[in-house]
Amino acid sequence: MERVLLKFKQVTSTQDVLKRFVKNKKEIAVFAYGQTRGRGRQKRDWFSPSGGFYLSILMFPERYINTIPLIAALAVIECLRDLQFTNLSIHWPNDVVLNNRKICGILCERQDNAIICGIGLNVNIKKFPAKLSQATSLLLESGRFYKLDDLLNKILKRFWQFYERLQTNEFKFAEIYHYVSGLGEPVEVKLSSKETIKGIIHNIDEDWGLLVRTEDGLIRKIYYGDVIRLT
């Protein structure tokens, strides 16, 4: 299948742009240098100034649909490791953390038989709003500016490599597990405004489900929720 990359100076949201292309049945990536209405999980606003990295990828997976956020996170982590960044981890379900601060968020949305995977990476951002005190950027961590187009090419290349291996059952899940933070730690998972569970993170399965051993000793598999560490 032919793959297309579209670049824009600014869009409302790269996710929304790609929704217009679902019916074309083509694998397309949309990159923007800024967003006016960027969003994260649960329709939260995503801080999207100039200097950030905003990418969405449209694909039509036949298997491992819930695992797409995993390979997106791994693509980002491996590219950052190539830039000599260390102390990188994944905070389930969709955050990449650098030096215990959020550097990247991933948003996957399903439409018909398509998945749109959004990657927001804080690159050349000098300052964040007070409410984002736990966020950081590559610039703040290293004191260096980075070429967004170079990062785009590297992350896209890694993503498609992982995606192809995932769809042909050749992806080795062991590549990612040691990056997942919190295994064995007590957590509280907010599933909705009315439901919260407490337990210990037991593991992550190949379908990117979080396995939590609850206080009554049962293993519960979770695909969504806000995880709060209790340590």
Residue range 157-215, pLDDT digits in tens: 999 999 999 999 999 887 787 898 888 889 898 888 788 989 999 888 877 788 999 98
| Sign, CA torsion 107/43/207/202 | positive
Beta bridge partners of 56: 30, 118
Superfamily, domain 3-177 = Bira Bifunctional Protein; Domain 2 (3.30.930.10)
In whole angstroms, what separates CA 58 from the centre of its chain? 14
pLDDT tens across 17-44, in order? 999 999 988 999 999 999 998 876 666 7
The candidate with the shortest Cα–Cα distance to 126, out of 72, 47, 54, 73, is 47
In whole angstroms, what separates CA 84 from the centre of its chain? 20
Angle between helices 148-167 and 68-82 (to 10 degrees): 140
- How many helices and strands in the chain, by DSSP H and E? 5, 12
The candidate with the shortest Cα–Cα distance to 173, out of 200, 201, 207, is 207
Question: In this model, does residue 230 exceed pLDDT 90?
Answer: no
Q: State how far the Cα of 190 lies from the Cα of 230, in Å rounded to an integer.
A: 13
User: Which segments of the chain belong to CATH 3.30.930.10?
Assistant: 3-177
pTM above 0.85, yes or no: yes
User: Which segments of the chain belong to CATH 2.30.30.100?
Assistant: 186-229
The per-residue pLDDT for 42 is: 62
Q: Which CATH class is domain 186-229?
A: mainly beta
pLDDT tens across 122-146, in order? 999 999 999 999 999 999 999 999 9
Starting at the edge strand found earlier in the chain, the sheet holding 114-121 runs 3-8, 27-32, 53-59, 114-121, 101-111, 95-98, 88-91
Average of per-residue pLDDT across 97-112 = 94
Average of per-residue pLDDT across 93-98 = 91
pLDDT tens across 41-79, in order? 666 778 999 999 999 999 999 998 888 999 999 999 999
